[in-house]
A and B are shown apart, each in its own frame.
Chain A
Amino acid sequence: MIKNTAPVLVSDPKRRNFLKTSGALGLAAAAGGVSEIIYAQDKKILKIRTYADMRSLDPAYSQGVVDEEIQSSIYSKLIQYKPGREWGYELDAAESIEQVDDTRIKFKLKEGVMFTGGFGEMTAEDVKYSYERILDESLESTNTPDWGSLKEVTVDSKYEGTIVFSDPYPPAWNIALPYIVGNIISKKAWEEAGGKVDTTTPCASGPYMHQEWQPKQKTVLARNPDWHGGVAAFDEIHIFPIDDENTAQIAYESGDIDCTRVSLGSVGNLKASPPANSTIEEYPSLYYVWVGMNVENETMANADLRKAVQHCIDVPSILQASYFGAAEASTGIIAPGLIGHRPKGKLPPEMNIAKAQEHLAAAGLSDGVSITLDVLNKSANVTTAQVIQATCAQAGITVEVNLHESGAFWSLGDSSSGERYKDIQLILNRYSMAPDPSYATAWFITDQKGIWNWERYSDPEFDKLEAAAKSISDVAQRDEMYRKMQDMMEDSGAYRFITHEASPVIYRNSINPAFRPDGLPLLRSFSSS
C-alpha cells in the first residue's frame, strides 16, 4: 500500500493547487463583502427594536403593531394617538375634525401636506381613496373590520370631506382613524402602482420615508425633508426585528439599540442596577390573559366544576411566579384606562379553596376530578400552568398540562381544523386588542364559537349587548354595557381573568421617547434630548 501511495511523497501539483485555490477563494469571499459604501457615523440615528419583521407597507395588509410602527412614521393620518399615559388623540393631517352627528365625521385637511416622489398635495380625494379601498372586497384586506359600519367618504371640497357610517360607530375614534386603517396614502401613487403595494412604497407624507428593508435584519427610515410638521428629530431610524426580549435586552446593554421592551422577569434587576444613562418605565399592556373553560366539553359542562376551578386559581401567586410581581391582576378583558374597564371583578383575585370544595360537592365531585389544561409553550405560561396545577390540587382537582407550539396552539379551538376543539377543557389564553372595548368582546359572541370563542360560551343577551355597544355614542352607557358583558362572562364560570401583563421599556437618556399608554412606541414623536 505504501508503494501505491508514493505520489504522496512527491507533491501532486493538482492537489497543491487545489489547497492553494481553496485558501484564495476564502480570502476572495471575504474581500467580496467590501463595498463602496461607507456608513456615516455622524448621522443622528435612532435604533429601536420591534418583536417581528416588517410584512407590508400597505395599510390594507398591515399585520398589527409592527407594520403600524413603520406606517405611522411614513404616512399621515387625520389624527394620531397622543403620546402619554392616557388614551387620546392629536391632529396630524387634519386641521379640524368633528363628529357632527352619530353617523358623520367632518374633517378639513391642512393645506400643504405633501406626498414625496412628486405625487403632490394631500387632498380629501386621497382620504376617500385610502379609507374606501379597505372596504373593497376584491382587495381582500384583513383590516376591513376596523372600519366597522363605514359607508363612504364624501369629498366636500379640495381639503374637506365627510366620513359617513351606515350606523353609529364610536370605535372609529379609537381603532380606525388613529390606527392602521387611518393611514392616508396617495391615490395617484397607488393607482400607478396597480392598486396595492407590498414591502416598498411609492411615497410618504409623514416625518420619515421608507429607505430600505433588509429582510430579517432591519428597516431603515430616513427623514422626510418635505414633512408638513417641520423637521423630523432623526436623520434615520433603524428598526431591528428581535423576537426574543432577552436578546433585545443584551442588544440594548451592548449599545446596539437605544430603546426596547424588556421582559417582565428582568425588571427587578434592571431597577436595582440600571444600565448607565438609562430609564426604565412600566406601562400597562392591552393584552389580556385568562383561563377559559369549554362549556360544551362533557366534563366542563358542569357549571359547579367550572366555578370550583375559578376559586382554585390564585391570581396573586401566578403574578408572582410567572410575571415576577411586575403585573397587576386583571378584573376582566378590558384594560384600565379604556371604556368598560371594571375597577373590581366579581371574584377576588385570591383563591378560596373552601368555596371551591363547596362547588365540587355540588357538582358531585367531592372525591376529586382530573382535567386538562392546554397551554402555549412559553415560559410564563408554563409557570402559570404549574401554579394552577398546584392550587387546584389543594381542592382535589388534578390538572394535566398539555403544552403546544404556537401553530398547533392557535388552532386548538378552530372547529374547521378537526375535532380537537371538543377536547379542550381548560385553556390558558392570551389575546391582544386595540384601544376600544369592542376589540376585546368581539371574540366571545356565539358566532365566534369554533373560531376564537374556544370556551364555546353562548348567551343571546351577551350577543345583543356586544352588537349594541359598538354603535352607542354615549360613553357612560357604553361603559356600563361592557362592564355588564364581563360580569356575564365571569358568572358563566367559563372565565378566570388573570392579568393584562405590563410593558416595561428601557431607553437611553439621550432620547425623549414617546409611547402610547400601553407602552408601544410612537416613533414619529421620538426626539433627542
Chain B
Amino acid sequence: MLFYILKRLLLSIVIVMLAVTMLFCMIHLVPGDPARILLGPRATPELIASMSARMGLDSPFPVQILRFFGNLFTGDLGMDVITNRPVADIVFNQLPYTLWLIFSAITFAILIGISLGCYSALHRNTLVDRITGILSVACITAPAFVVALYSLLIFAVTLHWFPAVGAGEKGDFWDQVAHLVLPAFAIGLSWIGYLARLVRASMLEVMGENHIRTARAYGLPERIVVYRYALKLAVLPTVTVIGVGMGFLLSAALLTEIVFARPGIGKLIFDSITTRNYPVVMGSVLISTILFVVSTTLSDLINAWLDPRIRASL
C-alpha cells in the first residue's frame, strides 16, 4: 500500500508538471502581445517593453519555463502585473469560493442522487423507478449554464427566494449560504442524475451478491442488509466518479461563476486569459491542476482503503 501511495504521488507530480508545461506552450502560441493588451491603447512602446520585462516575456521560451518551475519550488507563483499582488494571494483568495461551491454542489448531489438511486434499485421496474430513470437522464443532459439561467429567472427574478449574483457578505454565514444555493443547484443537478443511475446499477449488482444472501440467511432485518451492507459497497463507484469528475466540476464551476458573477478560481482563470495576465493564468491553472490530480489520487486511495478487494489487488 505504501509503495502504491508513493507511486501515485510521483505520478501526480509528473502529471502536474506536464500539464503546466503544455499550458505554458499553449499560452505562448495564442496570438496577442499580453503587455499591449494589459496596458491598453495609450501605452508607449517603452512602457510595453517594460511590462514585457516585468512579466518575464523578454526571455527565450525555455528560460521562461525553467524560471517558472524554479520559482515554483520556492513557493513563488510570481506577481500579478495589474494589481501588484502576489499571484499566490490572488489564487488562494479565490480558491475557497470554488471549493465551497463544488463541495456544496457535490454534497447536494450525493444526498439526493444516492437516495434516488437506492430507492430505484429497491423498487426496480415500478412506476417510481421508471420516473426516476427518466428524470435522472433529463438531469444528466441539462447543461449547467442552462440550469443556471433558468434557476436565476425562476428563483431569483420571479420568486425572489434567493439572491442572483455574488457570493454573499463576508462574515455573514447565512447570506453566503443563500448565495450558494442556486449555483450549487446548477452544478449539482446533472450529478444527481448521474449518481442516481450509477448507484441504482451498482446497488442492483451488489444486492445479488453472495454476502448479501448470506446476511439475509442470517435473518438480519432487510433495513440493515440494505443500508449497512449493500449500500456501503454500492456507493464505492461514486468515490471514483467524484474524484475523476473534479475536472468537470471545475469547468462547470467556471460557467456558473460567470453566470452568477461569483468570485472563484474559474472566473479568475477566464478573466486572466482574456486579459493575457499570464502570471495569474499560470498560478491559477497550476492550483486547479493540483486540485484535480489530488482529488483523483485521493479517490483511488480511498477506494483502496474502503474496498479490501482493491487493496488486495495492488
B229 contacts chain A at the CB level, 8 A cutoff: yes
Please tell me which stretch of B12-20, B26-34, B58-66, B69-77 contacts chain A, meaning at least 4 of its Cβ atoms lie within 8 angstroms of it: B26-34
Q: Are A250 and B40 in contact (CB under 8 A)?
A: no
Q: List 5 A-B contacts (CB under 8 A).
A: A9-B214, A18-B302, A36-B171, A216-B263, A253-B156
Apart from A8-B308, A253-B157, A254-B165, list 8 A-B contacts with CB within 8 A: A4-B308, A18-B305, A18-B306, A35-B170, A53-B271, A63-B40, A242-B261, A420-B31
Name which of A37, A240, A243, A250 has the most chain B CB atoms within 10 A of its CB. Answer: A250
A411-431 contacts to B, CB under 8 A, are: 411-412, 414, 416-418, 420, 431
How distant is the Cα of A241 from the Cα of B260 in the complex, in angstroms? 11
Interface size class of B (residues with CB under 8 A): 35 or more
B30 and A216 contact, CB distance less than 8 A: no
Chain B: residues with CB nearer than 8 A to chain A? 30-34, 36-37, 39-44, 47, 50, 82-85, 90, 93-94, 100, 103, 107, 152-153, 156-157, 160, 163-167, 169-173, 175-177, 209-211, 214-215, 228-229, 232-233, 258-264, 267-268, 271, 273-276, 302, 305-306, 308-309, 312
The answer to whether A241 and B171 touch (CB under 8 A), given A4-B308, A26-B107, A418-B31, is: no
Within 8 A of B (CB), among A9-30: 9, 11, 15, 18, 26, 29-30
Report how far A411 CA is from B305 CA in the complex, Å.
53
Do A407 and B172 touch (CB < 8 A)? no
CB of A251 to closest CB in B, whole Å: 4
The residues of A that contact B34 with a CB separation of less than 8 Å are 407
What is the CA–CA distance of A182 and B139 in the complex, to the nearest angstrom? 55
Residue A279 at the chain B interface, CB threshold 8 Å: no
Query: In the complex the two chains form, is B83's CB within 8 Å of A39's CB?
Result: no
Q: Are B306 and A254 touching (Cβ within 8 A)?
A: no
Q: Given the complex of chains A and B, what is the CA–CA distance between A37 and B169 in angstroms? A: 9
Do B33 and A417 have beta carbons less than 8 Å apart?
Answer: yes
- Of B31, B157, B261, most buried by chain A (CB within 10 Å of CB) is B261
Known: A215-B93, A254-B163, A411-B33. A15 touches B306 (CB 8 A): yes
Interfacial chain A residues near B258, Cβ < 8 Å: 243-244, 247
Which of the candidate stretches A139-147, A291-299, A458-466 sits at the interface with the other chain? A139-147
Contact of A240 among B36, B93, B152, B261 (CB under 8 A): B261
CB atoms of A247 and B259 under 8 A apart = yes
Given the contacts A8-B232, A418-B31, A407 and B273 also touching, CB distance less than 8 Å: yes
- Once the chains are docked, how many angstroms separate the CA of A30 from the CA of B173? 8
Q: Which residues of A contact B100 (CB under 8 A)?
A: 29, 33
Write the chain B residue with the least CB distance to A55: B82
Contact A2 B210 (CB under 8 A): yes
Residue in B176, B211, B271, B308 whose beta carbon sits within 8 Å of that of A33 in the complex: B176
Question: What residue of chain A has the Cβ atom nearest to residue B213's Cβ?
Answer: A2
When the two chains form their complex, are residues A411 and B31 in contact, meaning their CB atoms are under 8 A apart? yes
